[in-house]
Structure 1
Amino acid sequence: MSTDREPSTRHPRPFPYELRTFPVRLVDGEVPAEVASWTQAVALGFYGNAPTPEDIAKFAAVEQVDGRMATGAYLTDAAAPAGAWGPEYPVATYAYHRKTLNVGGGTLLPVHQITAVTVRPSHRRRGILRAMISSDLAQAKAAGIPIAALTASEAVIYGRFGFGVATHVCQVEVASRGGITLLNPGAAALGTVEVADALAVRDLHNEIFARVHAATYGSIGRHDMYRLVASGQGNYADMEPAKNIRAALHYDSAGAVDGYVTYKPDDAARPPTVKIVDLLAAGEGAYLALWNYLGSLDLIERVTWDMAPEVDPLEWAMAAKRDYKRTETEDHLWLRILDAPAALAARPYAADGRVAIHVGDPLGHASGIFRIDVVHGTATVTRCPEDGSVAAELSMGVSELSSLYLGAVTARTLLAAGRLREEHPGAAARFDALFARPDSAHSLTNF
């Protein structure tokens, strides 16, 4: 496009953007132009390096595996000023792919995973994000997906669209000088740990993660890029293989691999530190055995991890519990219920009973009065008429229900926080008795 055109003098429409959605993929081995410009816009929004054509081709190849769909908002009412990016570059980006969420009881619930959300600074506060997310959630609901999810770069954006914090993740530092002493050393002696080439992790990742995902309450599916990230073969910041990623594999008593850890030295840290890149443990004893291996590394005095669970067996296995330090706890997985009856019926319950809730939803997807009847841990969820014939015992927004869904918070805590209303005395306690979980939710996936 020529860069010497005069800016348009037409009066802009109230929303002068066109939303276009297309698959991220290669066509005859080549990157479509719309995918290339969209990828450049994502990199701009996340302050990443400008990707090369080779990088974009690699991104498209892995995202094609996930069936990723991209949306861009394109300015249609004005020409680009001289020297600026042209209209082929979206001023905002958005994408989704679909995996599953472990909601307990062996159920992997279909989930709509949102990612790559950016809005160019010069086009903010014009309703673009609202248009993209409203359209996308409506289509996901129409497709029968009961719940949406994202991991948020900023904490104050997504609540107004009905998302609620559903899991947390911890950054930890574990003192390892002289080894990690365990109260029961035998718990880390099941199977064996051996050093491996990091490339082995790339090929083992999917099988091991599938086992971890099926066994971990709150786990959400990983996208194909994770095979490369875990093995140091590339990421969205740099597709060049890292030269300092090391790996160790855990073998069960039959000699089968049931876990791994990849790690790298943290050259900027003092005392000498290694940082975990990825750790997956699917078999009995694999988790503690891999930590025991990390504690045995010569010349290393500390091990750090950014994806530790809130309740970590390692902390309670260590003889010196104070050598395990949480340096930060942060919201991680955000959920957004789209179909309340389907989502609520999918998860298991701790006790039998009944509670009726009123849910408000600014987008209308999960609004209504719902009676939850639990018998033998399984719920029947009924949408009730809103004519006054059924009285709700608790009233809340969909954001609050989405946070309660996996047990990130209790109804009584939200009641004290002023975020839900108890219409019948004791209803919050009865809700919590139904929704209680013996384990805390933990997700090992960023997206």
Structure 2
Amino acid sequence: MSDDYEIRRFTAASKGEAGFPDAESWLQAVAFGFHESTRTPEHVAKSLETYAADRRIFTGAYQTREVAQGSLPAEVPVATFGTFRKTLNIGFGRLLETQLVTAVTVRTSHRRRGLLRRMMSEDLAMAKHDGVAMAALTASEGSIYGRFGYGVASFERTVKVDTTSRFQLNHQAAGSVDIADPPVLLDLAPEVFDRVHRLTPGSIGRQEWYRQLASGSLGRDGKEDPAIKVVLHYGPDGAVDGYVSYKFLGWDTEPHTVQVVDFVAATNEAYLELWQFLAAIDLVERVTWEEAPLDDPLTWALADPRCIDSSDSRDMLWLRILDVVKALEARHYPVDGRLVLEVLDPLGLTGGTFTLEASGGQAAVVRPDTPGTPDLTLDISALASIYLGGVCPVTLTAAGRIREHKQGASLQARGMFAVERATHCLTHF
């Protein structure tokens, strides 16, 4: 990166705090990079309030030379990079502190100057220095982050569910559902999500904004959303163990459609019974959900699985391992075994040869004194992909992403890296 730019880092600041002007200009650059309409001052203030609650760190690349006449002023960064920390469920209820990367933009006129590489490389190195073993992001484009060592670790899909008479669930209700006043989710949503988070491999802890979105208190446009409706699920003990936040898309939509805003269920019964409720809404023929799992129990509970139209599956969570030893030893392993892994790291953060020995669910990971021939050779991004069990090592071997030196090692890795249920992430960031 040339001397024409400097990198600055600062914490998110709410309106009235000392750092608010810098944060406001940073947010202006992010909005431009993601083609958003100009945010109102009220929207900016509310957004920064939630970011401050998450303790986000803002990074920006700023021009040091005189800016061109009429262009955006120098206090608006030409590249942005945001981070905050939450936990990642790595299977079997284990939570790992993770560096979440968000709001990555580079202004078109300042690309190919090394700005993203410097911000990314420095941030990952600092996170590792802090003892964080994992980084994560959700990608707007699929071709950018592999070169930084990120690998796809979970998927999601958009579903359109026919809720006419075709919708019949093979399920006997064990709990009950009822309509609730949307603001109850300001308190209830984090409680219910915490249960789901601890049960679901691939789940990321949620930021402040989610409870406001689910309750209709703060929509994506920065305003309260009066269209939001909420239904709660009560388990056999009477406690709330799931909810759906949704809205009707209007009488002009054909077929008449309800759109799921947030769907969080801590039990299998809550999940299916909330679907039963959605399908029973009067005057509605379709329910859409943009964050549905690929391996969906609903498919197998329906008498006619073709009620679900799913044509938009996509990658969701991308992981980047910062410390191979720490990340591998943090996991639970359902199958005993020994694997020698040669890990290639394009950024040089954590490459090398490692012996992974799992016994009784626990793992010891060491760097052998004399590595010899590994069982598997793989890029750090491929190791990140198989880490949560969401991507099959056998498939990556077939694709040439993993080189198998010992016959059957990929299948062995599949068993060792398996998790207790389907990997799914309900949190975008």
| Corresponding position of 1:7 | none
| Corresponding position of 2:397 | 415
The residue correspondences of 1:160-309 to structure 2 (distance < 5 A) are 160-178=147-165, 180-184=167-171, 186=172, 189-235=173-219, 237-267=220-250, 269-283=253-267, 285-309=269-293
Greater shift, 28-37 or 295-304, is seen at 28-37
Within 2, Cα distance between the matches of 1:153 and 1:446?
11
Within 2, Cα distance between the matches of 1:214 and 1:416?
33
Within 1, Cα distance between the matches of 2:75 and 2:236?
57
Letter in 2 for 1:65: A
Within 1, Cα distance between the matches of 2:163 and 2:360?
46
Q: TM-score, normalised by structure 1?
A: 0.92
Within 2, Cα distance between the matches of 1:342 and 1:298?
52
Deviation per residue, 1:96-139 (Å, 9 max, x gap): 00000001122111000000111111111111100110000000
Within 2, Cα distance between the matches of 1:431 and 1:178?
44
Give secondary structure in 1 for the equivalent of 2:367: strand
CA drift at 1:326: 1.4
CA drift at 1:14: 2.9
Check the 8 A contact 1:30/1:57 in 2, yes or no: no
| Corresponding position of 1:10 | none
Within 1, Cα distance between the matches of 2:174 and 2:213?
28
Within 1, Cα distance between the matches of 2:373 and 2:399?
23
2:36 corresponds to 1:54: no
CA drift at 1:394: 0.8
Letter in 2 for 1:177: T
Q: What is the identity percentage for the equivalent residue pairs of Structure 1 and Structure 2? A: 46
When residues 344 and 269 of structure 1 are mapped into structure 2, their CA distance, relative to the original with a 3 A threshold, is: farther
Letter in 1 for 2:111: R
2:23 corresponds to 1:35: yes
Match for residue 428 of structure 1 among 385, 410, 427: 410
Greater shift, 204-213 or 154-163, is seen at 204-213
Q: TM-score, normalised by structure 2?
A: 0.96
CA drift at 1:207: 0.9
Which aligned runs of 4 or more in structure 1 are off by greater than 4 angstroms? 27-31
Deviation per residue, 1:164-212 (Å, 9 max, x gap): 000000111111013731123x1xx222111112111222111111111
The residue correspondences of 1:148-167 to structure 2 (distance < 5 A) are 148-167=135-154
Within 2, Cα distance between the matches of 1:197 and 1:46?
33
Check the 8 A contact 1:174/1:303 in 2, yes or no: yes
Letter in 2 for 1:281: A
CA drift at 1:408: 2.3
| Corresponding position of 2:134 | 147
Letter in 2 for 1:107: R
Give secondary structure in 2 for the equivalent of 1:255: coil
When residues 135 and 287 of structure 1 are mapped into structure 2, their CA distance, relative to the original with a 3 A threshold, is: same
| Corresponding position of 1:5 | none
When residues 18 and 30 of structure 1 are mapped into structure 2, their CA distance, relative to the original with a 3 A threshold, is: closer
Unaligned runs of 5+ in 1: 1-12
| Corresponding position of 1:336 | 320
Give secondary structure in 2 for the equivalent of 1:384: coil
2:72 corresponds to 1:85: yes
| Corresponding position of 2:357 | 373
Letter in 2 for 1:85: L
Within 2, Cα distance between the matches of 1:46 and 1:370?
40
Within 2, Cα distance between the matches of 1:366 and 1:169?
29
Match for residue 352 of structure 1 among 336, 347, 371: 336
CA drift at 1:262: 0.9
Give secondary structure in 1 for the equivalent of 2:363: strand
Check the 8 A contact 2:353/2:371 in 1, yes or no: no
Greater shift, 296-305 or 409-418, is seen at 409-418
Within 2, Cα distance between the matches of 1:40 and 1:313?
41
2:116 corresponds to 1:129: yes
RMSD: 1.6
Match for residue 100 of structure 1 among 87, 90, 99: 87
Letter in 1 for 2:184: A
CA drift at 1:355: 0.7
2:388 corresponds to 1:401: no
CA drift at 1:283: 3.7
| Corresponding position of 1:4 | none
Within 2, Cα distance between the matches of 1:419 and 1:144?
28
Check the 8 A contact 2:259/2:288 in 1, yes or no: yes
Within 2, Cα distance between the matches of 1:390 and 1:211?
44
Within 2, Cα distance between the matches of 1:49 and 1:160?
31
Letter in 2 for 1:322: R
When residues 260 and 179 of structure 1 are mapped into structure 2, their CA distance, relative to the original with a 3 A threshold, is: farther
Match for residue 313 of structure 1 among 297, 322, 326: 297
- Considering only CA atoms, is the larger Rg found in Structure 1 or Structure 2? 1
- The alignment of Structure 1 onto Structure 2 pairs a total of residues equal to 428
Check the 8 A contact 1:168/1:310 in 2, yes or no: yes
Within 1, Cα distance between the matches of 2:285 and 2:309?
14
Check the 8 A contact 1:31/1:60 in 2, yes or no: no
When residues 360 and 233 of structure 1 are mapped into structure 2, their CA distance, relative to the original with a 3 A threshold, is: same
When residues 16 and 29 of structure 1 are mapped into structure 2, their CA distance, relative to the original with a 3 A threshold, is: closer
Within 2, Cα distance between the matches of 1:27 and 1:180?
49
| Corresponding position of 2:99 | 112
Within 2, Cα distance between the matches of 1:347 and 1:340?
11
Give secondary structure in 2 for the equivalent of 1:137: helix
